[in-house]
Structure 1
Amino acid sequence: MESPMRWRALFQEGRGKLTAGILLVEFLVAVESLVVIAIMPAARRDLGGTEFYGLVFAGFSLAALVLSPIAGRAADRRGAAQPFLLFGMLFVAGTLFCGLAPSMPLLALARIVQGGGAGGAYTVALAAITRIYPQSGRARVLALLAGAWIVPGLLGPSYGALMASTLGWRWAFFSIIPLTVIAIALTMPALRALPPADQLSPLSIRWPL
């Protein structure tokens, strides 16, 4: 039986940037999933549009749910790098548009874009984990990804409340954009070296729709 990979080995042998990048992506997606809990009262006072309030929350999750299997299929066909970059930049664009939104309907639309990018990037990263890390290390990488939700779960709403009461609720979105770009840059070199999958699933790409 193969012994588990040491934790520090996840950051060695050329995997350090990839591990750090994937963890940072997961952390930022978690932040953006949870921060809206605290900032939406301020956004509603600023933008109005109470009837779209729920869509700001649900749109993010639904878009992630729909685009996740599509992203996995794209990663199998084209390799991980191109889809990850595409969905990562979609997440950045959605985050930027959230911060710039002049109305609640457009904020809800931006959250849909943001959620689609988040779900797609996360799925491509998961697919890459199964191919880049040895079997002895995959469980530990997944444990780190699960742990990346702990701090946002505890502090994300507080961070959102701090932004809303100081710089303004829009900065809860603007503030993570530089870190997202860094996370994408850390992850891309390893993903570029990953070829398309040898075998493709026969499952149609259209099924989630």
Structure 2
Amino acid sequence: MEAIPNEQPRQIKRPLVLASIMLAMFLAAIEATIVSTAMPSIAADLGGFSMYSWVFSAYLLTNAGTVLIFGKLSDLYGRKPIFLIGITVFMLGSVGCGVAGTMEMLIGARFIQGIGAGALMPIATTIVGDIYTKEERAKIQGYLSSVWGISAVSGPALGGFFVDVLSWHYVFFMNIPLGLLAMAGVILFFHENIEKKKPAIDFLGSIWLILFVSSLLYILVEGGVGIPWGSPEMYMLLGMSALGFILFLHQERRAEEPMMPFSIWKHRSISIANLTSLTTGMILIGVSSYLPAFVQGVMERSATVAGFTLTTMSIGWPIAATLAGRLILTIGFRTTSILGGVSLIIGGMIFFMLSPDRGPIWAGTGSFFIGVGMGLSSTSFIVSIQTTVGWKLRGIATASNMFMRSIGSALGAALLGGILNNRINGLIKEEGLSDHISVDTANQLMDAHQRMLLSEDVRRLLQDALTVGLHHVYAGLLILAVLSFFLITMLPKGEKV
């Protein structure tokens, strides 16, 4: 076992540390299934269906913008303090989400929540890489992925219960007791003794990155809907995005401690894993964000049924991740990842053929294959990356993979949301009803009572528009799945733990 700087006379209680960080990861895992299930009801309550994707994009934007900084801070100051800061900020954001009275307030609180999540997932995974040996990591990473299974059983069920019986606000309030318990476990059982370095944090790089990504997200979401493509505002956003990207690249080359050290990308296993995480992140958000809207708005099923279609993905993920922990030791990272790529393509094909008459069972089957693909590939990527680099780079290397998946999810939410909004808006204009209804009228499809208040013609038009728009979204998912498989085949051959 390699020397680990956080070893000291007080023995680390590894099982208790593992349980604590799994609970912290549960916060982020259950957030995906509960919020996605509750979003149609939130949109019906708060309004603003055209801002639907921003509830996801806001969270993912700040997550992506801070994950590399937190990874670097954990390499400088240790995993424990940064991890605790992340949980605290995440809980503050959760409180803000729970008390939000408008869609704008909810999006603002999601920004804060995303900052905390930027520390939670990567540092939890890095702690496991620190306290377990190379041989143990594959199995333990599978355990971490089982968190998605636990959230699969409880998340959609709780989300449906809160929406149908109590209130969607509890979706966010339930994070508080879980967060406090996770903090207590990390404080009591995880001890580290790290040699602190003089800080040289690349905050400027993070600023340029956020400028680039936020401008791009705004273009993808509002382009052709809120902002005409040929308008001065659009050209200004394009210029800001390009400027942010150029300045980010320049800053990373000159920074003493870059938030994204380009040296780690020289390792082929890291560069390919990160690029694939970008595309799979887009797939993941495409399924989790818009499937409940289709099930509730078009199939006219309850929030609980919508939650079921996401539950199957969250069940497939941990099963495959646990299996991946064993496969990696026998057939290697590449072959295990290829199996995951095949499963993603199968899931993409099922969603491409999804229609209202096929029902939620068909949708749930597609979700399951997407989950299996994510479980096999993501577990392989993390173990491969942590085996490639030493302790001093493990935090930022792990964070870089999480960063690419977050960027993929943020871009996916915005791009796919933009496609959906444009198709709905286009069909409304074609029918000559743009003076009477808008994209935001689709809010009423998400609530059974409000749906009955719509005229038959308007309801059918909106449902057809939502169906057509989501068909374009799922065509995009299939293309992304094929691209992910192609990237996976480029991983180095013969690499094992």
The normalised TM-score by structure 2 is 0.37
Q: Output the CA distance in 2 between the equivalents of 1:197 and 1:121.
A: 21
What is the match of residue 46 of structure 2? 47
Alignment map for 1:173-184 (pairs within 5 Å): 173-184=172-183
AA aligned to 1:160 is G
**More off after superposition, 154-163 vs 189-198:** 189-198
Q: Is the 8 A contact 1:39 1:160 kept in 2?
A: yes
What is the match of residue 101 of structure 1? 100
Other structure's SS at 2:182 match: helix
Larger RCO: 1 or 2 (CA < 8 Å, sep 6+): 1
CA shift in 2, pair 1:166/1:85, >3 Å = same
Deviations along 1:63-103, one digit per CA (max 9) or x if unpaired, are 22222111110001111122111111011111111101111
AA aligned to 1:110 is A
Q: Output the CA distance in 1 between the equivalents of 2:149 and 2:38.
A: 19
Give the C-alpha shift of residue 110 in structure 1.
1.2
Give the C-alpha shift of residue 30 in structure 1.
0.5
Other structure's SS at 1:101 match: coil
AA aligned to 1:71 is F
What is the match of residue 7 of structure 1? none
Q: Output the CA distance in 2 between the equivalents of 1:78 and 1:96.
A: 28
CA shift in 2, pair 1:36/1:42, >3 Å = same
The normalised TM-score by structure 1 is 0.83
Give the C-alpha shift of residue 196 in structure 1.
4.7
Give the C-alpha shift of residue 116 in structure 1.
2.1
CA shift in 2, pair 1:121/1:196, >3 Å = farther
**More off after superposition, 141-150 vs 118-127:** 118-127
Work out whether 1:24 is the aligned partner of 2:23. Answer: yes
What is the match of residue 187 of structure 1? 186
In structure 2, runs of 5+ residues without a counterpart are: 2-10, 201-255, 262-402, 408-497
Work out whether 1:89 is the aligned partner of 2:143. Answer: no
Larger Rg: 2
Give the C-alpha shift of residue 185 in structure 1.
1.2
What is the match of residue 205 of structure 2? none
AA aligned to 2:138 is A
AA aligned to 1:90 is V
Aligned-residue sequence identity (percent) comes to: 30
Work out whether 1:205 is the aligned partner of 2:259. Answer: yes
Q: Output the CA distance in 2 between the equivalents of 1:16 and 1:135.
A: 17
Give the C-alpha shift of residue 155 in structure 1.
4.5
Q: Is the 8 A contact 1:80 1:194 kept in 2?
A: no
Q: Output the CA distance in 2 between the equivalents of 1:123 and 1:186.
A: 18
Q: Is the 8 A contact 2:162 2:170 kept in 1?
A: yes
Q: Output the CA distance in 2 between the equivalents of 1:94 and 1:167.
A: 21
What is the match of residue 125 of structure 2? 126
What is the match of residue 474 of structure 2? none
Give the C-alpha shift of residue 205 in structure 1.
2.2
Give the C-alpha shift of residue 147 in structure 1.
1.5
Q: Output the CA distance in 2 between the equivalents of 1:59 and 1:98.
A: 12
Q: Output the CA distance in 1 between the equivalents of 2:142 and 2:32.
A: 19
* Residue correspondences, number: 198
Runs of 4+ in 1 over 3 A off after TM superposition: 189-192, 200-203, 206-209
What is the match of residue 158 of structure 1? 157
Q: Output the CA distance in 1 between the equivalents of 2:92 and 2:38.
A: 19
Q: Is the 8 A contact 2:37 2:160 kept in 1?
A: yes
Q: Output the CA distance in 2 between the equivalents of 1:88 and 1:155.
A: 21
Deviations along 1:145-185, one digit per CA (max 9) or x if unpaired, are 11211232354223211111122000111123101110121
Other structure's SS at 1:186 match: helix
Give the C-alpha shift of residue 51 in structure 1.
2.7
CA shift in 2, pair 1:168/1:48, >3 Å = same
What is the match of residue 280 of structure 2? none
Deviations along 1:119-163, one digit per CA (max 9) or x if unpaired, are 312222222222222333222221111121123235422321111
Q: Output the CA distance in 2 between the equivalents of 1:188 and 1:71.
A: 18
AA aligned to 1:205 is M
Deviations along 1:6-47, one digit per CA (max 9) or x if unpaired, are xxxxxx961122111111111221101221112112212222
Q: Output the CA distance in 2 between the equivalents of 1:49 and 1:140.
A: 44
In structure 1, runs of 5+ residues without a counterpart are: 3-11
AA aligned to 1:186 is G
**More off after superposition, 43-52 vs 97-106:** 43-52
Q: Output the CA distance in 2 between the equivalents of 1:70 and 1:29.
A: 18
Of Structure 1 and Structure 2, which has the larger fraction of its residues in helix?
Answer: 2
Give the C-alpha shift of residue 105 in structure 1.
0.9
Q: Is the 8 A contact 1:128 1:191 kept in 2?
A: no
